[in-house]
Amino acid sequence: MTHAEILSRLHALRDQIRHHDYLYYVKDRPDISDSQYDRLFRELIELEQAHPELVTPDSPSQRVGAPPLHELAKVPHEQPMLSLDSIVEQSEVLAFDQRMKRELETMSVEYSIEPKFDGLSIELVYDHGIFTRGATRGDGTTGEDVTVNLRTIRSLPLQLQVDSGIPDHLVVRGEVYMRLDDFQAFNRRLIERGDEAFANPRNAASGSLRQLDSTITATRPLVVTCYEIMGMSGSMPPTHWDELETLAQWGLPVPMHRRLCASIDDVIPFHHETESMRDQLPYEIDGVVVKVNRRDWQNRLGMKSRSPRWAIAYKFTPRKEITVVHDIVISVGRTGTLTPVALLKPVEVGGVTISRATLHNADEVARKDIRIGDTVKVERAGDVIPAITERVPISGEQRTSPFRMPDHCPVCGSTVGREGAYFYCTGQLICGAQLKGAIEHFASKHALNIDGLGKKTVAQLVDQELVRSVGDLYRLTKDDLVTLDGFADRFFIIGHGEINRGRVLRINTGHGLQHD
């Protein structure tokens, strides 16, 4: 191929991949098979590897691969990212409408309504249609730069659809979240690995987006949706509804479930309708956002110190403490004990969203007769781990078969032994979960008191197979340690056979080796 042919092939491949990404991740309507897509992607990668000078930052190949950061840089927002006042009662939304009509001196106000996503708010900047920066909301004026992490989210276009009259400069507000089914599967993997699960999809999304290493973010099933133009060169669309339509034309994902309401009389039924379909939606929402549709009216209404006067979050009434068991997974403890854990459809109990509950042991599961798919009552008292108190029989329900403990450890595959109600992994230190327990004990105050070797670090050492036995701790090098997530932030002390004599080495990425 000539240089010109290579350039044009690269261009064509990138366009095709972008188009298929858009159909798949934004429209949810792919029109080629996964293997056809993979072929296109592989051709792009091979061509770019042969001609690295032709790689562009907006190439679909550039979503992953940025080097890990030491910290997330602080960035000021171009426009303050306001929060919304929220209400729950119907009387309050009627009062809101009265206030709008009074201030606008009109008989009726048109509203644009969309779901209120329970995720992490973000600012996205596009220059000449290319995604150049993304930040978390932070305190509203300053956020954290998460550009490289956002690039890994496939529903976020790195390049806007150019044939649609895009502005030179564009700042969009959106939300990053995790779909419920993805969240359950993700938590399942964490629990089976013996790691801490996330309490709810929002925490999981936030933790995933705020990683220092974007390759970790890339493995997390994050989704983005956009709902506001915070600023742009040229004139803004005349209404909020047009704003959403415009964002969609540019190829950005926008809320599909939304409605233009001629008056407040249409807002209330939409709220009820959305609340009743809440459990069928594939993502968590906690209400709807009611916005005055006309931009000139929005400007006239202006804002309070931290929130706009022209919009309000109309929340749903808190859920009852009844939910559904999505799955029952096995958590392997630090001592090898197998504990059944129920993964639940997230439910708010006492202001905290609960998405998992311990089932304690096999006898307990049998006694309460809890099975996958069952409707159950969840309780959480004080700081106690949430527990399922009882099953709620539903008339006519088709139940799955009774739960039984596995024969093999989900972490290491060793045979499972039994003592009374308790099941345990017989793998001992070949079992990653038990190895973590042994190292944690070794590092603890009761034993060698190794500063900085906490649960998270131990989990990483074992998961990345840097340590396969307690003895491996002595063989760790600084190069091993700097690969650890968040390591730059803290000290970590290890000994090279010198621990016994009370002499330890302190390693810090900033200061190199120091004798303590």
Q: Among residues 338 and 493, whose Cβ is nearest to Zn ion?
A: 338
Tokens linked to 268: 């209330």
**Whole-angstrom Cα distance, residue 433 to residue 436?**
5
For residue 198, count other CB atoms closer than 10 A to its CB: 20
Q: How far is CA 91 from the centre of its chain?
A: 34
Segment (H or E) for 180: helix 180-192
Residues of this chain that bind Zn ion (CB under 5 A) = 409, 411-412, 414, 425, 427, 431
The structure tokens 């009761």 sit at: 446
Rg over CA atoms, the chain: 26
Please, are residues 243 and 258 in contact by the beta-carbon 8 Å criterion? no
Residue tagged active-site, from 74, 101, 116, 478: 116
Nearest approach, Cβ of 36 to Zn ion (angstroms)? 40
Q: Among residues 325 and 411, whose Cβ is nearest to Zn ion?
A: 411
Nearest approach, Cβ of 458 to Zn ion (angstroms)? 16
Q: Three-state SS string across 7-36, please? A: HHHHHHHHHHHHHHHHHHHHCCCCCCCHHH
Please, are residues 109 and 292 in contact by the beta-carbon 8 Å criterion? yes
Nearest approach, Cβ of 49 to Zn ion (angstroms)? 40
Q: Among residues 378 and 412, whose Cβ is nearest to Zn ion?
A: 412
Q: Among residues 458 and 504, whose Cβ is nearest to Zn ion?
A: 458
Nearest approach, Cβ of 382 to Zn ion (angstroms)? 32
Please, are residues 481 and 209 in contact by the beta-carbon 8 Å criterion? no
Give me the sheet containing 222-232, strands edge to edge.
130-136, 120-127, 169-178, 222-232
Q: Among residues 122 and 425, whose Cβ is nearest to Zn ion?
A: 425
Q: Among residues 6 and 429, whose Cβ is nearest to Zn ion?
A: 429
Nearest approach, Cβ of 412 to Zn ion (angstroms)? 3
Tokens linked to 445: 């105050």
Nearest approach, Cβ of 191 to Zn ion (angstroms)? 14
368 is catalytic: no
Residue 84, phi then psi, degrees to nearest 5: -110, 145
**Whole-angstrom Cα distance, residue 428 to residue 327?**
27
List the catalytic residues. Answer: 116
